[in-house]
Amino acid sequence: MMMQPGTYFYHGHYGMQRSAGLYGSLIVDMADGEKEPFHYDAEFNLLLSDWWHKSVHEQEVGLSSNPFRWIGEPQSLLINGRGQYNCSLAAKFSNSSISQCKFEGNEKCAPPVLKVRPNKTYRLRIASTTALASLNLAIEGHKMVVVEADGNHVQPFAVNDLDIYSGESYSVLLKTDQNPYKNYWVSIGVRGRDPKTNQALTLLSYSATPASKLPATQPPVTPRWDDYNHSKAFTKSIYALMGSPQPPKTYNRRIILLNTQNRLNGFVKWAINNVSLVLPSTPYLGSIKFGLNNAFDQKTPPDNYDSSYDIMKPAPNQNTTQGSGVYSITLNTTVDVILQNANALAKDVSEIHPWHLHGHDFWVLGYGEGKFKDGDEKTFNLKNPPLRNTAVIFPFGWTALRFVADNPGVWAFHCHIEPHLHMGMGVIFAQGVHRVGQIPKQALACGLTGNKQN
Ligand SMILES: O=C1O[C@H]([C@@H](O)CO)C(O)=C1O
């Protein structure tokens, strides 16, 4: 497979392996002789994540229990797998009840310091593999120019801070044009949920200044967690770089996916068009290729939801069904997906969900408030929508995506919040499976395909 140059990461996808720490960065460089459409002198790579003290096993058991036990907010935010718990680099500025971390240098938990030379341009590659947290990153005294999103070039734009949701990646350019005799805070905080987690902090440290010299200033303050206008303003500033592939002008099939939080015999679930995803024990690819119809439930999930459903209120009937969630898509057709957010179980609550598609990029055609309705497609951006593989839905809103089903296989499309996927928040797109060649033996090893050859 041809890999598109850019900033990516990999992770385990079985159970909640990603929450347990099974992930890493994956950077694809430009081919020899090819150049990025922007210049930089050096780069840093920041993979962001969140961390709980409770084991992932205990988290999974809690989520699958009746009564339901939610995982709560993370104990730490991590930068390249490193973070602090009961001390903070910036304790004296942020919260007097926590103590200031004392670093001697080279501690395992110490975050990586970004050591820079003055008057250079640095590329920061930033990716988020958090289990839950939506994040905001800011660098004291420095603007960032966004140039890449999920491996695709975007129209450069300058920001003071950047929102990043689980599953996403960005590259930003940073000019080291400030006083080189000072160090500057790099701060990461939680967005979209009432944060109970300390900021993650590290330093942008100019070569003339030792990293041990902490700034005397307050680290950048993360925008209020529920200031969604701030998040929307950032998200809606992202456009494809001129010359990027444009979307087809029309679609063959439109699938509207209602996102709801539900109950099932007292268990708490998430469901899409009232189907809560349960992954079968036989992997889909082999069972579909070999026509093993009893390997998973063959019921086709609906392409839409009941038009009388009031997305602004808790559902009158909170029950959901469960299923294998497989949408069969005709190969090489254009599919529009409208992700429709709604009120969760509790009154006046609707959360952010970053949706991630395997096997494809999609164009993000637009966002809207309330319920998607006929005529809203007139607001779609068909000229320069960004190509991405992850896009958020905001509380009580919708997000419209378009993709061409040109990659034979079986692909998950799911909320990238790990506990939400575990609770059923995803669907499956199957396309052109007869065109898939040899399936690796390991991918047939379990369930009904256990002794299949192909
Ligand atoms: O899926 C979730 O469950 C909890 C809460 O809704 C019920 O405890 C929460 O904050 C989620 O995101």
pLDDT in tens, the chain (454 residues): 567 999 999 999 999 999 999 999 999 999 999 999 999 999 999 999 999 999 999 999 999 999 999 999 999 999 999 988 887 777 777 667 778 887 766 777 788 899 999 999 999 999 999 999 999 999 999 999 999 999 999 999 999 999 999 999 999 999 999 999 999 999 999 999 999 999 999 999 999 999 888 899 999 999 999 999 999 999 999 999 999 999 999 999 999 999 999 999 999 999 999 999 999 999 999 999 999 999 999 999 999 999 999 999 999 999 999 999 999 999 999 999 999 999 999 999 999 999 999 999 999 999 999 999 999 999 999 999 999 999 999 999 999 999 999 999 999 999 999 999 999 999 999 999 999 999 999 889 889 998 777 7
| C-alpha separations of 113 from 45, 116, 209, 220, 433 in Å | 11, 9, 12, 17, 47
Pocket residue to mutate for ligand 1, from 16, 70, 197, 263, most atoms within 8 A of Cβ? 70
70 Cα nearest atom in ligand 1: 8
193 Cα nearest atom in ligand 1: 10
Cα 81 to averaged position of ligand 1 atoms, centre (Å): 25
Tokens of 424: 């059923």
CA 67 to chain centre: 28
Instruction: Kindly state if the Cβ of 344 falls inside 6 Å of ligand 1.
Output: yes
| C-alpha separations of 423 from 70, 263, 274, 275, 320 in Å | 11, 10, 13, 11, 12
Instruction: Return the half-sphere exposure (C-beta side, CA atoms, 13 A cut-off) of residue 403.
Output: 26
Alpha carbon distance 55, 37 (integer Å): 44
Q: Which residue's C-alpha comes closest to atom 7 of ligand 1? A: 70
Alpha carbon distance 123, 171 (integer Å): 6
- The answer to whether the CB of 197 falls within 8 A of the CB of 71 is no
Predicted local confidence at residue 2, as pLDDT = 64
Alpha carbon distance 329, 343 (integer Å): 29
270 Cα nearest atom in ligand 1: 1
C-alpha closest to that of 16 among 453, 316, 446, 419? 419
Cα 70 to averaged position of ligand 1 atoms, centre (Å): 6
Beta-bridge mates of residue 373: none
Q: Which secondary-structure segment (H or E) carries 393?
A: strand 390-393
Q: Which secondary-structure segment (H or E) carries 91?
A: helix 91-94
346 Cα nearest atom in ligand 1: 6
Alpha carbon distance 130, 190 (integer Å): 11
Cα 370 to averaged position of ligand 1 atoms, centre (Å): 21
68 Cα nearest atom in ligand 1: 8
> In terms of C-beta density within 10 A (0-12 exposed, 13-18 middle, 19 or more buried), how is residue 260 classed?
buried
- Residues 389, 148, 352, 321, Cα dihedral to 10°: 0
Predicted local confidence at residue 256, as pLDDT = 98
Instruction: Kindly state if the Cβ of 279 falls inside 6 Å of ligand 1.
Output: no
Cα 356 to averaged position of ligand 1 atoms, centre (Å): 20
Domains of the chain with CATH codes: 6-235 (2.60.40.420), 253-449 (2.60.40.420)
Predicted local confidence at residue 108, as pLDDT = 77
Predicted local confidence at residue 248, as pLDDT = 98
> In terms of C-beta density within 10 A (0-12 exposed, 13-18 middle, 19 or more buried), how is residue 181 classed?
exposed
Instruction: Kindly state if the Cβ of 351 falls inside 6 Å of ligand 1.
Output: yes
Alpha carbon distance 223, 63 (integer Å): 30
- The answer to whether the CB of 126 falls within 8 A of the CB of 46 is yes
Cα 25 to averaged position of ligand 1 atoms, centre (Å): 29
Q: Which residue's C-alpha comes closest to atom 3 of ligand 1? A: 70
Predicted local confidence at residue 94, as pLDDT = 65
Q: Quick count: other Cβ atoms within 10 Å of Cβ 414?
A: 26
Predicted local confidence at residue 234, as pLDDT = 98
- The answer to whether the CB of 378 falls within 8 A of the CB of 158 is no
Cα 337 to averaged position of ligand 1 atoms, centre (Å): 25
Alpha carbon distance 171, 388 (integer Å): 13
Q: Which secondary-structure segment (H or E) carries 363?
A: strand 362-369
pTM for the whole structure: 0.96
Per DSSP, 144 falls in state E
| C-alpha separations of 265 from 59, 268, 321 in Å | 20, 9, 10
Cα 355 to averaged position of ligand 1 atoms, centre (Å): 17
Instruction: Kindly state if the Cβ of 70 falls inside 6 Å of ligand 1.
Output: yes
Instruction: Kindly state if the Cβ of 271 falls inside 6 Å of ligand 1.
Output: no
- The answer to whether the CB of 276 falls within 8 A of the CB of 322 is yes
| Residue carrying structure tokens 């840093």 | 44
